[in-house]
Amino acid sequence: MGSKMGETKLDETKMDGSRMEVVQTEGTKLDAVKMDRTQAIKTPPEVCPLCEGTGWKTAGTRATVSNNDRRVTRCDCQLRTRGQSLLAAARIPRRYEHCELSNFEFDGPYRSLAPARMAACKFVEEYPIDKTGLLVIGTIGVGKTHLAVGMIKELILGKGIACLFYDYRELLKQIQNSYNDSVKTTELDVLRPVFEIEVLVLDELGAVRPTEWVWDTVSLILNTRYNDNRTTIITTNYPNLPERDRLSSNVSSRSSEAAKYAAERESLGDRIGDRMRSRLLEMCRIVTMESQDYRERVKSASFR
């Protein structure tokens, strides 16, 4: 009897010991997890050696900065972080993501484009001291969009300036689509960033056949940005000429006069109206690009 009771107590002791081991093992695991978390929390993040994590650096070199003149500026690490965020929000089309001022061709057969590139570099250098926009005019394939994208990429990554790219045709489609009852986006939702962005690229201005609605929309965008003193970079295929006189209603569509009118190249005034063309001349400096079609040259070379 006594030995049985002893065996029972011994078995219970063994079981209790096993339970204790399990509890200890689980406790050890929990402690290890806690230690890992604590170490993860205590691990210091990578600190910029230039600003020591403050986000600000002293302007100039130590040799030129006196004790009484401790001016500071945003550290490069902050500009890089902000720049990448702004670049992702700029809506640059994938086709033009590679475009930069540094890889814009302006020598050899494209020597005539050197003044345009120089004007683009000057624009970037002087912004925001001079906030005058640019009206880039040229025929198809001379690199207008490349130049415009290159400029805003320099502003975004080099100066932390918020920029937005919009194809003129796509913008008008988005505005028109906002009138659809099944779409939750309103016209103001589409236009607000266009109005408020610091630098806007409006690519291919005049590419949509003019109607009263198109003219009113262009007028609203340009006037709003003009009144708010915001910078706009515009590209267009149409020459900077005033609107042509309209044919009178009694002229036959088959007449030589009508044929001559149809054969003449349309002007920027024809596409956006003389009033808005005049507004553009107040907002922007004109940059003219004259060269052969780059895409046509590359395509021709590929068949040699």
Q: How confident is the model at residue 215 (pLDDT cuts 50, 70, 90)?
A: very high
Joined tokens for residue 244:
């042509």
* Helix, strand, coil % over all residues of the chain, rounded to 5: 55, 10, 35
> Poorest-confidence range of 35-49, 164-178, 250-264?
35-49
Mean pLDDT of the 287-299 span? 77
Strand, coil or helix: 173: helix
- Indicate the pTM of the whole model: 0.73
What gap in Å lies between CA 235 and CA 81, rounded to an integer?
29
Cβ contacts of 235 within 8 Å, gap of 6 or more: 136, 137, 138, 144, 145, 147, 148, 201, 202, 203, 204, 205
Average pLDDT over residues 220-227: 96
Q: Is the confidence at residue 61, as pLDDT, over 70?
A: no
- Report whether pLDDT(148) > 50: yes
Q: How confident is the model over 86-130, as pLDDT tens digits?
A: 999 999 999 999 999 999 999 998 999 999 999 999 999 999 999
Task: Check if the beta carbon of residue 104 is closer than 8 Å to that of residue 147.
Answer: yes
Greatest mean pLDDT among 9-23, 104-118, 238-252 lies in 104-118
pLDDT of residue 257: 65
What local confidence, expressed as pLDDT, does residue 47 receive?
76
Residue 303: band (very low, low, confident or very high) from pLDDT cuts 50, 70, 90: very low
59 contacts 72 by C-beta, under 8 angstroms: yes
Going by the DSSP 8-state scheme, the letter that residue 248 receives in this structure is: P
7-16 average pLDDT score: 51
